[in-house]
Structure 1
Amino acid sequence: MEAKELLSKTAVVVLNYNGAKLLRQFLPTLISCSDSARIYVIDNASTDDSVSLLETEFPAVVCIKNAQNLGFAGGYNEGLRSIDASLLVLINSDVEVTPNWLQPLVRAFAEEEKLAIAQPKIRDFKNKAAFEYAGAAGGFIDKYGFPYCRGRLFETVEIDENQYSDETPIFWATGACFAIRKKVFDELGGFDADFFAHQEEIDLCWRAFNRGFEARYLPDSVVFHVGGATLASGSARKVFLNFRNSLVMLLKNVPQGMLFEVLFLRLVLDGIAAIRFLTSGEFSKFRAVIAAHFAFYANCNQTFKKRAKHLRSDYFSKKSIVYAYFVQGKRRYSDVS
């Protein structure tokens, strides 16, 4: 399929929940820079004036109204059912796109049939010289399920000095701006709605990896992400979701022969993290880790049933990013790659 034809079959989709301010700020640029792609907003039962704003100020945008707030995962799953497109570009409401941001994504999918998932270069809206935490220049994962990026290890984010300006395969693409073939999304069954929010895109990419699909970082496309606009960075709720969902993701995707070792060591590392929260006086985060573990244990049987028959053991290139970062003091992706 030619790029021009695929562009006309591309849906750029924003998920919104009480984000009228962000829609007013970022939709105009998204509309003006997205050529002939169709723009959609899936509204997750907002209680602010998001829907009326879309109807009055952005009539060209198609608004899909979910009946309730289903979170990131369920909200997209529900809304995307009614969208007829060949290529989906899912983008957060707090992302500022740049001129010609969409063309490199569409061109790559048009030229390479094996490409299933891709992400652009993600830089920080508040510090535009730096990469942004959620995705940076493409994501990877270590043996124990800790995600990291080219340009970001844990809380250390690099300045973009064109060190990651090469197009390259990645393990996961960020949900902040995430392109996927619609047929692949449907084949995978969409996001796992039980995640609600956080790490559902890593789980989706992991399931795609297990089926042999390819994900890639495309640096010629550049966007700027505010980050933390929906759920505050470091909040207890976010800690709960990240710890719970990471364990769920491991149980779903790690091969049988590795599962006990990986889960056991991950539980130990989570315990160390909980103790650090406790000793530093961050009691709400300590409680969030404990709650995340109990939630994981309560649903283990249900999660185990989601395991696919064929799970790949080559999902990681680094055994422990935790050891590299906290013990060896490595702070850049180039130090651990």
Structure 2
Amino acid sequence: MIDVQVSIIIVNYNTTALTLQCIKSIRKMVLGIRYEIIVVDNHSSEGAVALLASRKDITFIRNGENLGFGRGNNKGAECAKGKYFFFVNSDTYFVNDAATILHTFMEEKGNERVGCCGGMLLTSDGKKQASYGNFPSVFGVLSEIGLYRLYRKRFTDRLSIAVKDGAVHVKEVDYITGADFFVRSAVFRQVGGFDPDFFLYFEETELAWRIRHAGFMSMWVPAARIVHLEGGSTTDTSGKWPLQKIRFFTQSRYLYFRKTTGRWALLAVKMLLSFQALMRWIYRRERYYFDVFRIIVTS
């Protein structure tokens, strides 16, 4: 049996066309390593998912319910054979051999304490996307409501939970965006994988937090490049986040603070976000913003 160097794991939920596009790009671009592709379907309702189930060149796992992003990826990791796991979103596609670039980086002498890494995420027209971020903090949330204008560079470098970076140099970061999360399988298993309490959002941030506390680093390797069609499974054309997306995001944000910094930090964050949402509703006077305020207060 040929040893697998990298297990590429994709969670699919009603995004079969995007997942097929992702697989096609992997087959075209990833040429320098031995890899396997594992697709985990979170109980999609679309009939097209049969196209994935029928493929012989992937491992297909069909869940009996929608387990969410983290638990879905954990299912894929359970059967993965690679020394490294490469978790990629279904709404991504490779524009270079990102998997080999990240694998080569992790194998370099001196990088033994790098637990995970990721590449540069781009929009379909080549613009930079948020590829990494800083661990959430109370001061970061306080800054979000307007204070960041007083220290924009510090906010971006040290406090923002999502960072777009046009640099070309490798650097240590707090966490790698979950759209292209490349991790040592031994480290992933050591820290327990994705926390199943997170359904969607912040699961990669909390995992990176545990990786950091286990003594490993997260690194950004911008030479690896992947297009991310962000929101492929939660599309909206209004220019506003769908309320369900806001609910998932808010619940996971609160859960992150509760698990990593404690209930007093969570209380402070909830008060700050509630105040921000209330002011936005008073200023806008639209039902949508009242609904956002209600979600933030009641989550």
Q: TM-score, normalised by structure 2?
A: 0.82
Alignment partner, residue 85 of structure 1: 82
RMSD: 2.7
The answer to whether the Cα contact below 8 Å between 1:51 and 1:63 also exists between their aligned partners in 2 is: no
Alignment partner, residue 40 of structure 1: 38
1:96–1:72 CA distance, 2 compared to 1 (3 A): same
**CA shift for structure 1 position 79:** 2.8
Mapping for residues 2-151 of structure 1, pairs under 5 Å: 8-35=4-31, 36-56=34-54, 58-111=55-108, 112-125=111-124, 127-128=125-126, 130-132=127-129, 135-136=130-131, 138-144=132-138, 146=141
Whichever residue aligns with residue 40 of structure 2, its letter is I
**CA shift for structure 1 position 38:** 0.8
Whichever residue aligns with residue 70 of structure 1, its letter is L
In the aligned structure 2, how far is the partner of 1:41 from the partner of 1:113?
A: 28
In the aligned structure 1, how far is the partner of 2:156 from the partner of 2:87?
A: 19
1:19–1:240 CA distance, 2 compared to 1 (3 A): same
Local SS of the residue matching 1:141? coil
**CA shift for structure 1 position 69:** 0.9
Local SS of the residue matching 1:99? coil
Mapping for residues 315-334 of structure 1, pairs under 5 Å: none
In the aligned structure 2, how far is the partner of 1:51 from the partner of 1:228?
A: 19
**CA shift for structure 1 position 194:** 1.8
Mapping for residues 251-270 of structure 1, pairs under 5 Å: 251-254=258-261, 260=264, 262-270=265-273
**CA shift for structure 1 position 170:** 0.5
1:199–1:281 CA distance, 2 compared to 1 (3 A): farther
Local SS of the residue matching 2:169? coil
**Pairing 1:236–2:243 present:** yes
Alignment partner, residue 248 of structure 1: 255
Local SS of the residue matching 1:122? strand
Whichever residue aligns with residue 117 of structure 2, its letter is A
In the aligned structure 2, how far is the partner of 1:98 from the partner of 1:282?
A: 41
Whichever residue aligns with residue 89 of structure 1, its letter is F
1:82–1:32 CA distance, 2 compared to 1 (3 A): same
In the aligned structure 2, how far is the partner of 1:18 from the partner of 1:117?
A: 28
Alignment partner, residue 203 of structure 2: 200
Whichever residue aligns with residue 117 of structure 1, its letter is C
**CA shift for structure 1 position 292:** 4.8
**CA shift for structure 1 position 116:** 0.6
Local SS of the residue matching 1:194? coil
The answer to whether the Cα contact below 8 Å between 1:169 and 1:215 also exists between their aligned partners in 2 is: yes
Deviations 1:285-329 (A, max 9, x none): 54345345444xxxxxxxxxxxxxxxxxxxxxxxxxxxxxxxxxx
In the aligned structure 2, how far is the partner of 1:26 from the partner of 1:179?
A: 16
**Pairing 1:283–2:287 present:** yes
**CA shift for structure 1 position 83:** 1.8
Local SS of the residue matching 1:25? helix
The structure 1 segments of at least 4 consecutive aligned residues displaced by more than 4 Å after TM superposition are: 145-150, 152-155
1:283–1:199 CA distance, 2 compared to 1 (3 A): farther
Aligned residues: 275
Mapping for residues 206-221 of structure 1, pairs under 5 Å: 206-221=209-224
Whichever residue aligns with residue 141 of structure 1, its letter is F
Alignment partner, residue 302 of structure 1: none
**CA shift for structure 1 position 267:** 2.1
In the aligned structure 1, how far is the partner of 2:20 from the partner of 2:75?
A: 24
In the aligned structure 2, how far is the partner of 1:219 from the partner of 1:70?
A: 31
In the aligned structure 1, how far is the partner of 2:250 from the partner of 2:196?
A: 16
The answer to whether the Cα contact below 8 Å between 1:101 and 1:221 also exists between their aligned partners in 2 is: yes
Deviations 1:41-73 (A, max 9, x none): 1111112134321244x4212111222111111
Deviations 1:214-238 (A, max 9, x none): 1000011011101011123611111
Deviations 1:110-168 (A, max 9, x none): 1222111111011112x31x212xx33x2113532659867x9689x86x7xx411100
In the aligned structure 1, how far is the partner of 2:187 from the partner of 2:156?
A: 23
The answer to whether the Cα contact below 8 Å between 1:9 and 1:85 also exists between their aligned partners in 2 is: yes
In the aligned structure 1, how far is the partner of 2:69 from the partner of 2:279?
A: 29
Runs of 5+ consecutive residues of structure 1 not aligned to the other structure: 296-337
Runs of 5+ consecutive residues of structure 2 not aligned to the other structure: 145-154
**CA shift for structure 1 position 282:** 4.7
In the aligned structure 2, how far is the partner of 1:37 from the partner of 1:139?
A: 28
1:193–1:97 CA distance, 2 compared to 1 (3 A): same
**CA shift for structure 1 position 25:** 2.8
The answer to whether the Cα contact below 8 Å between 1:241 and 1:292 also exists between their aligned partners in 2 is: no
Alignment partner, residue 315 of structure 1: none
14-23 or 169-178, which moves further after superposition? 14-23
